[in-house]
Structure 1
Amino acid sequence: MKQIAIFFIFLVLVSCQYFEAKKTSKDAILKKELKTFNWNEVDTYPSFPVCDSLDTLTNKKQCFETTLANHISTQLAKQTFVVTQDINDTIVLELLITEKGQLQIKQFTADSLTLAELPNIKQVIETSLDSLPPIYAAIKRGQQVKSQFKLPIILQVN
């Protein structure tokens, strides 16, 4: 009987470590949390005031891109371009929207013929972006964040 009692006392003393609460450091929690979400996607895309009434994320993104493209197209249509050759090109704008909703052109890509025929096309597009309505920045986990995307613009001048 004593041997059984000693065995149980020994068992209780040895097994105490299994009842202790495991503590996780803040750094371990942070590392685990950073691995769980996708840094390349946002919770809410940048938007204009006219896009706020839409309900789905996809619709808001499409509204933002359409509004931006229509605004640039309208501004380009107001310009008179004189060219010696027909131009049928796609200009690609790589745009950055800051946390404060400011729009910046990071990269402007166009064909060399387009740039030769329309040397001021970049300035015209930059000027058209100055008259945009206010932009609401993208949101990731409740914080306003920078976002970057490409916007193709089809340019046809006859």
Structure 2
Amino acid sequence: MKKALALLLLTFSFSCQYLEKKAPSEQELLNQQIKEINWKEVDEYPSVADCEKLTDAAQRKQCFFDFLTATIEQKLAIDTLATMFPKLDTIEVRVTILPDATLEFNPEFPKDSVAYDTIKIDSILRARLIGFPKVNPALKRGIPVKTQFVLPVIIKQE
């Protein structure tokens, strides 16, 4: 019995080193957190004042994209794009929202777009989209971040 007790005591004294877990360092914890973050997704999409009242994230996102598309189409409808380029019915616009809430608009044309004067369309687009309503930038962990997406904008034929 004494031998069994001594053996048990000896086993506990040596096994304690296996139970001790070293606390991870601050850098290790930081690296682990960074690996867990999905950098391709934002926590909150960009938004405008009209969409702020919605609580559902999907509805808020859809509201923002609908607002953005409708505003761009409305600003381009007063121009002569439809008469200058009658075969052009849709423009793909790359919208970039920077962390300081500024917007950049760049049209994207197919590689075989020699039929259109891309420089003229680009200048018309930039001129018409000045004075765009205020857009709140996207948030990632509470920090404003740059977002970019492509919107198909329909040119109204009159």
Instruction: Pick the TM interval, shorter chain.
Output: 0.7 to 0.9
Q: Deviations over 1:87-123 (max 9, x none)?
A: 2342111121111111113x4223332326xx52212
In structure 1, C-alpha distance between the alignment counterparts of 2:71 and 2:5, rounded to whole Å? 85
Unmatched 5+ residue regions in structure 1? none
Distance 1:88 1:138, change over 3 A: same
Structure 2 residue identity aligned to 1:20: E
Q: Which has the higher strand share?
A: 1
Structure 2 letter corresponding to 1:79: D
- The percentage of counterpart residues that share the same residue type is 32
Distance in 1 separating the partners of 2:133 and 2:64 = 11
Distance 1:61 1:51 in 2: 8
In the alignment, what sits opposite 2:8?
A: 8
Report the alpha carbon displacement of residue 77 of structure 1 after superposing the two structures with TM: 1.6
Question: Alpha carbons of 1:114 and 1:147: their partners in 2 closer, same or farther (altered >3 Å)?
Answer: same
Structure 1 counterpart SS, 2:132: coil
- One-letter amino acid of the counterpart of residue 114, structure 2: S
Once superposed, what is the RMSD of the aligned Cα atoms? 2.3
One-letter code aligned to 2:67: T
Q: Quick one: which of 112, 115, 118 aligns to 1:113?
A: 115
CA offset digits 1:7-50 (Å, max 9, x no partner): 23321220121332331122332232223232111111101111
Post-superposition shift, 1:5? 4.0
TM-score of the aligned structures, taking structure 1 as reference length: 0.82
Secondary structure of 1:114's aligned partner: coil
Matched pairs, number: 154
In the alignment, which residue of structure 2 is the partner of 1:58?
58
Q: Runs in 1 of length 4+ with deviation above 6 angstroms?
A: none
Which runs of 5 or more residues in structure 2 are unaligned? Answer: none
Structure 2 contact 75–129 (Cα < 8 Å) conserved: no
What do residues 42-62 of structure 1 show as CA deviations (whole Å, max 9, x unaligned)? 111101111101121121111
TM-score by length of 2: 0.82
